């Protein structure tokens, strides 16, 4: 499914190159430690060029970069410490709308689910920290 891109509606993810729909991002509050957003990778995205010619699929590392772009919109100084778990359940194709849901867990990790048309395509668990002027602290 292809949707028109309007500069007033989308921002470009700094690392991932995804078009992230900022109106879909919900604020993080103590009562709601969740972040939701929508994104897509246009067919001309460089990640599709070599992965795979004639059968373009979004590389797994771009799933993670997308999540980091969304997190950086709320926490600009965070750092990725580790990917604890990454399950790629179904390929993401060019121009598919991706629903991203992140939740902050009690152990300091971030649990992530990516969905396309209501179907889970990725499940990730990321260990992150803030990159304040002192030593890194877990969120």
Question: What is the per-residue DSSP string for 71-120?
Answer: HHHH-TTEEEEEEEEEEE-SPPPTT--EEEEEEE-TTSEEEEEEEETTEE
Q: Which residues contact 92 (CB under 8 A, 6 or more apart)?
A: 41, 57, 58, 63, 98, 114, 116, 121, 122
Tell me the pTM.
0.81
pLDDT in tens, 48-61: 988 888 899 999 99
Can you say how many angstroms the Cα of residue 44 is from the centroid of all Cα atoms in its chain?
A: 19
Query: What is the rounded CA–CA span in Å between residue 129 and residue 71?
Result: 11
For each of the domains in the chain, give its residue range(s) and CATH number, in order of start. 11-138 (3.10.129.10)
What SS3 state is found at 22? helix
Under a CB-based contact definition with an 8 Å cutoff, are residues 63 and 92 in contact?
yes
pLDDT in tens, 9-33: 455 677 778 888 754 556 555 556 7
């Amino acid at each position: 499914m292809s949707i028109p891109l309007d500069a007033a509606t989308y921002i470009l993810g700094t690392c991932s190159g995804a078009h992230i729909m900022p109106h879909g991002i919900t604020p993080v509050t103590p009562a709601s430690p969740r972040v939701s957003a929508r994104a897509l990778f246009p067919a001309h995205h460089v990640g599709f060029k070599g992965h795979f010619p004639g059968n373009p699929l979004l590389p797994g590392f771009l799933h993670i970069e997308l999540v980091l772009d969304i997190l950086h919109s709320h926490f600009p100084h965070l750092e990725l410490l580790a990917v604890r778990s990454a399950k790629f359940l179904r390929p993401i194709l060019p121009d598919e709308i991706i629903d991203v849901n992140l939740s902050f867990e009690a152990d300091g990790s971030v649990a992530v689910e990516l969905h396309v048309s209501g179907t889970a395509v990725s499940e990730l668990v990321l260990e992150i920290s803030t990159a304040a002027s002192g030593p890194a602290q877990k969120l």
